[in-house]
Amino acid sequence: MSDNPIQLYKERTEGVSRQKQYRVMALLTFCVAAALPVVRLISYYLPIENETIADLVFTLLMQVGVLIVMPVLFYKFLLKKNFKQMLDFSGFHKTKWYNIALAVPIGFCCHIVTIGVSNIWQNILINFGYTHSSSPLPENFSAGLMVTSIILSAVLPGFCEEFFNRGGLLATVRGSFPFYISIGIMGLEFGLFHQNITQVFYTAVFGAFMAFLCLRLKCIYPAMIVHFVNNATSVVGDYCDTYDFMGGGLYRMINDTARTCPFLLIVGFVLTAAILVGLVMLLMYLNSSQRLAKKKDVIADSGFDHTHNRVVLVGEEDKEKVRELGLDKEVYGEKLREDLYKPTLRDNAFFIGAIVISALTTVFTFVFGWVV
């Protein structure tokens, strides 16, 4: 429990202490980690011969049941949050149009960079004797199947995985750890979250990047769009390659270039990575400019204490609000230290359990070459 009177007031009005929130989110993370192999086993042993229907059952159980329904129940009954508070806790905040617009090309560039990172990881695994097998698409093209694949592999993960991983979990981690440490933790968490040796590395990088976007933009929508575009590009690429649409699409072009001119392929990946960095920098610049304009407006509407040479802000006792506005030095004369909750070993017990389950399952997929 915090000794800060403002924080104590916030805890009373929100209905739970910061410690309880941390422990509830740790328990939720453990339940999600334990549910994934269970759902995989259930879907695997169900007497369903049609692979598409089996994928549908698994995805709905995992994405909707585990990543949406379960967190909502935890937020409602353990954290005492109403629907509006759940949305706020999960990062559903208003954002500028350019954050949404730039998320689309960022998502496409992310996918291309992910291909390069994934190939490096696959080669490392091959050197350790691991062989990865994937289910081929049906012999004949089906538009309905492609739309279903996009829904299952892009729409649902883009919303459901972001809701859990970059929603309440990220907010809780950020409330206890500094900015860059939080990003590292969330990257590791998202990599292990997949419990699949072939995905653990590039999803860790992707998860850290999504956490960075959410924290910088203070909104979950751009990350959802980036996630959707990244996954949808993958699905469309598979269909183009398998059924020879658009000359085989992106994947065919990459494979052909790898055979004929690997140097050009490397240049292409580096150029795409540079474009991705440029788009992110543009995004950060636009948002910092907006925050600076808002900061100037607040200062213009505030008083000034000439004796102490500081801005007099209405509601300046709310240090969290002052920090968000970036007016720490102007109001208090110094940069405020973050009021982070310091979790104990007991607080982290379920988080540790989640890591153990996810790590063991990931190792299992490496040793046996089989995703449960």
The CA-based angle 95-89-180, given to 5 degrees, is 75
Query: What is the domain partition of the chain in residue ranges?
Result: 5-301+342-368
What is the residue-level pLDDT of the chain in tens, covering all 372 positions? Answer: 444 544 443 444 455 899 999 999 999 999 999 999 999 888 878 887 777 888 899 999 999 999 999 999 999 999 999 999 999 999 999 999 999 999 999 999 999 999 999 999 999 998 988 877 677 888 899 999 999 999 999 999 999 999 999 999 999 999 999 999 999 999 999 999 999 999 999 999 999 999 999 999 999 999 999 999 999 999 999 999 999 998 889 999 999 999 999 999 999 999 999 999 999 999 999 999 988 887 777 777 777 766 777 777 766 666 777 777 777 777 777 777 888 999 999 999 999 999 999 999 999 988 876 554
Q: What is the pTM of this model?
A: 0.92
**143 CB-contact burial (10 Å; exposed 0-12 / middle 13-18 / buried 19+):** exposed
Task: Count CB atoms within 10 A of the CB of residue 354.
Answer: 23
d(CA 200, CA 179): 22
Residue 366, classified by CB atoms within 10 Å of its CB into exposed (0-12), middle (13-18) or buried (19+), is middle
